C-alpha cells in the first residue's frame, strides 16, 4: 500500500504577487455565478407579459449580448409612430407605466394611493433594471418622434440587455475581487508539493 500526501501553501489575496493575483482573478471570474440573473429574468418576463412581445432566444455575459424577439402585435400596431403611438401607449399602458403613488401612515399599518401623483419607480418587479427596460418608452412619452412600436420594443430590449451586460461586467471587473476576498475570507494556493511514502 502506498500513501500520497498533498501539501499546499495557502495565502491571502494581498500576500500574492501581481501575477498570481491576476491568475486568481481570472479563475474567480470564470467560476463566479452572476447573482442577479433571476431578477433580470423576472423583469424580462414581466415586460413580456405587459407588452405583447416574446424574447425567443437571448444571451448575455460580461462582454456581449444578443437577442431575438417576436412581436405579437398586428402589423398596423407595429407600424404606429408619432402622436398615434403616443396615444396608443397612454390609452393602453398608462396604468402599468405610471401607477399611483402610495402613501403610508407613520406606523406603516395604513396605506393610501394618490389620485393625483404617479410614480415610475421600478414598476415591473421592484428591481432597478425595470427602469432600464422601460427607459425608451418613458423617453418616447416625453418627446414623441417617428419611432415605430416595433422599433420602440427593440430599443427597450436592447437597453435591458446592455444594462445586464454592464452589470455583469462590473461584477467580474478586477476591483470587486479584493472586496469579495476580504468579505468571504478567501484563501489562495500558489504551489503544490507532493510527498510519497
Contact status, residue 38 vs residue 119, Cβ threshold 8 Å = no
Residue by residue, DSSP assigns 109-142 as S-EEEEEEEE--SSTTTSSTHHHHHHHHHHHHHH
Task: Find residue 102's DSSP bridge partners.
Answer: 113
Strand partners, 58: 67
Nearest to 44 by CA among 69, 76, 9: 69
Please give the Cα distance from 69 to 58 (Å, whole number): 8
- Can you give the pLDDT at residue 177? 60
So what's the pLDDT on residue 193? Answer: 41
Q: What is the mean pLDDT of residues 50-57?
A: 93
Question: What is residue 5's predicted lDDT score, i.e. its pLDDT?
Answer: 83
> Could you report the per-residue pLDDT of 152-191, keeping only the tens digit for each?
999 999 999 999 999 988 877 755 666 656 555 555 555 4
Question: What residues does each domain of the chain span?
Answer: 1-32+174-197, 36-100+127-171
**SS3 category, 37:** helix
Judge residue 25's burial from the number of C-beta atoms within 10 Å of its C-beta, 0-12 exposed, 13-18 middle, 19 or more buried.
Answer: buried
Give the model's pLDDT for residue 27: 72
Cβ atoms 85, 97 nearer than 8 A: no
- The distance of Cα 3 from the centroid of its chain, to the nearest Å, equals 50
What is the distance between the terminal CA atoms of the chain, rounded to a whole angstrom? 9
Quote the pTM value: 0.73
Q: Tell me, what DSSP letter sits at residue 34?
A: P
For residue range 90-108, list pLDDT tens digits in order: 999 999 999 888 888 888 8
As a whole-number percent, the residues of the chain with pLDDT over 90 amount to 49
- For residue 51, give the C-alpha cell: 407588452
Amino acid at each position: 500500500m502506498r500513501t500520497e500526501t498533498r501539501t499546499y501553501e495557502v495565502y491571502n489575496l494581498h500576500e500574492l504577487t501581481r501575477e498570481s493575483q491576476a491568475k486568481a482573478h481570472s479563475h474567480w471570474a470564470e467560476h463566479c455565478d452572476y447573482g442577479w440573473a433571476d431578477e433580470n429574468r423576472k423583469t424580462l418576463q414581466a415586460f413580456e407579459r405587459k407588452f405583447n412581445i416574446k424574447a425567443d432566444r437571448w444571451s448575455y455575459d460580461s462582454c456581449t449580448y444578443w437577442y431575438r424577439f417576436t412581436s405579437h402585435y398586428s402589423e398596423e400596431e407595429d407600424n404606429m409612430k408619432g402622436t398615434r403611438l403616443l396615444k396608443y401607449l397612454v390609452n393602453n399602458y398608462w396604468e402599468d407605466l405610471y401607477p399611483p403613488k402610495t402613501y403610508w401612515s407613520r406606523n406603516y399599518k395604513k396605506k393610501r394611493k394618490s389620485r393625483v401623483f404617479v410614480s415610475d419607480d421600478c414598476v415591473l418587479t421592484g428591481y432597478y433594471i425595470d427602469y432600464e427596460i422601460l427607459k425608451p418608452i418613458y423617453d418616447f412619452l416625453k418627446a414623441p418622434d417617428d419611432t415605430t412600436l416595433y422599433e420602440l420594443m427593440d430599443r427597450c430590449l436592447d437597453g435591458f440587455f446592455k444594462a445586464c451586460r454592464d452589470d455583469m461586467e462590473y461584477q467580474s471587473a478586477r476591483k470587486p475581487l479584493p472586496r469579495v476576498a476580504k468579505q468571504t475570507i478567501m484563501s489562495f494556493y500558489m504551489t503544490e508539493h507532493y510527498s510519497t511514502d
